[in-house]
Amino acid sequence: MKLSQTQLDQFDRDGYLFFPSLFNPEETASLRREVPHLYAQDRPENIREKGKDSVRTNFAAHMYSEPFARLARHPRMVEPVMQLLDDELYMHQFKINGKMAFDGDVWQWHQDYGTWLNDDQMPTPRAMNVAIFLDEVNEFNGPLQFIPGSHKLGALEAGHDISTTSYPLWTISNDNIRTLVKQGGIVAPKGPAGSMIMFHSCLVHASAPNLSPWDRVSVYLSLCAVSNHIKRFKRPGYIAHRDFTPITCLPDDCLVHPYPVDLPWKDGTPLIEQSGLQQAA
């Protein structure tokens, strides 16, 4: 999939692109039906909502689940990001966010690059987020909210919030959000399961709690230019990957045909990937 000049201009202006129904129902179902099994596992990669059993986020499923290992090599996501970053890509982070009915908690206002810079020493924002909806996203189940154009400001001042939710995040102050929203407003792309959003690593975003009876499971791939790989291994390897091997794509029909994929963490996460290291290797 190649982006047109109009799409490139739109990405440059807004910091995101939305592709409704990019994956068909059969492709989406091949991923969605795996999620309950992944969330039921007792592994460090499952981070549960504060005080609840519901999974907030599952990390690195592409290392131990066949359908997600195929998604991680899907040309419909990888190729446009290669085009935008003009480099080979490696997987910096892979997560399946639950935002489960009634239990799904807030994601405070932040830029992903804030965390990648402060925690992982990623040299520049040459990395991209790709979100794929595995459930319909509507106005009630906690859609992602963006401040269009905010990616132009680079890395903004952020504070480390380790108490609001079960997952630490470098967040942006309310005063700064007020100013940014005066300039850019807020948008919340919504659509059927199978829709995809690509967004810049400096785009300011958030999502509200899910008070609805509908789950809002979405997969997020964070693809980084190989030449921009992280320099610090403070976080566990399953959160911030330390393997910078370029991704090789599978054919476009890989979600509906069982192309073979490696599952190196199928029998458990290697101990060395479960904790931070003092030094980058």
> Residue numbers of the site for Mn ion (CB under 5 A)?
112
SS (H, E, C) 76-111: HHHHHHHHHHCCCEEEEEEEEECCCCCCCCCEEEEC
**Partner that binds at residue 207, options ligand SIN, Mn ion, none, CB closer than 5 to 8 Å by kind:** ligand SIN
Note whether 97 binds ligand SIN by CB under 6 A: yes
Residues 54-93 that bind ligand SIN (CB under 6 A): none
**Nearer of residues 84 and 144 to ligand SIN, judged by Cβ:** 144
Question: Shortest approach of ligand SIN to residue 19 CB, angstroms?
Answer: 17
Which tokens hold the place of 40?
A: 């039921």
Residue, CB closest to Mn ion: 112
**Nearer of residues 61 and 131 to Mn ion, judged by Cβ:** 131
Note whether 151 binds ligand SIN by CB under 6 A: no
Question: Shortest approach of ligand SIN to residue 31 CB, angstroms?
Answer: 16
Note whether 207 binds ligand SIN by CB under 6 A: yes
User: Rounded to an integer, what distance in angstroms lies between the CA atom of residue 240 and that of residue 141?
Assistant: 27
> What is the DSSP code string of 171-230?
E--HHHHHHHHHHH--B---B-TT-EEEEETT--EEE----SSS---EEEEEEEEGGG--
Positive/negative CA dihedral, 239, 129, 114, 142: negative
**Nearer of residues 11 and 116 to Mn ion, judged by Cβ:** 116
Note whether 132 binds ligand SIN by CB under 6 A: no
Note whether 180 binds ligand SIN by CB under 6 A: no
- Per-residue x/- track, 226-255, ligand SIN (CB under 6 A): ------------------------------
Question: Shortest approach of ligand SIN to residue 124 CB, angstroms?
Answer: 19
Length of the chain: 281
Note whether 107 binds ligand SIN by CB under 6 A: yes
**Nearer of residues 190 and 261 to ligand SIN, judged by Cβ:** 190
User: Rounded to an integer, what distance in angstroms lies between the CA atom of residue 207 and that of residue 25?
Assistant: 25
Angle at 202 between CA 19 and CA 17, to 5 degrees: 10
Q: Round the CA-based radius of gyration of the chain to a whole number and report it.
A: 17
Distances (CA, A) of 231 to 82, 84, 128, 228, 243: 21, 22, 18, 9, 12
Residue, CB closest to ligand SIN: 207
Note whether 32 binds ligand SIN by CB under 6 A: no
Angle at 223 between CA 219 and CA 226, to 5 degrees: 160
Note whether 144 binds ligand SIN by CB under 6 A: yes
**Nearer of residues 107 and 116 to ligand SIN, judged by Cβ:** 107
Angle at 45 between CA 52 and CA 173, to 5 degrees: 70
Neighbouring C-alpha atoms within 13 Å toward the C-beta of 21:
3
Among 205, 235, 241, 242, binds ligand SIN (CB under 6 A): 205
**Partner that binds at residue 97, options Mn ion, ligand SIN, none, CB closer than 5 to 8 Å by kind:** ligand SIN
**Residues in the site for ligand SIN, rule: CB under 6 A?**
97, 99, 107, 144, 205, 207, 218, 220
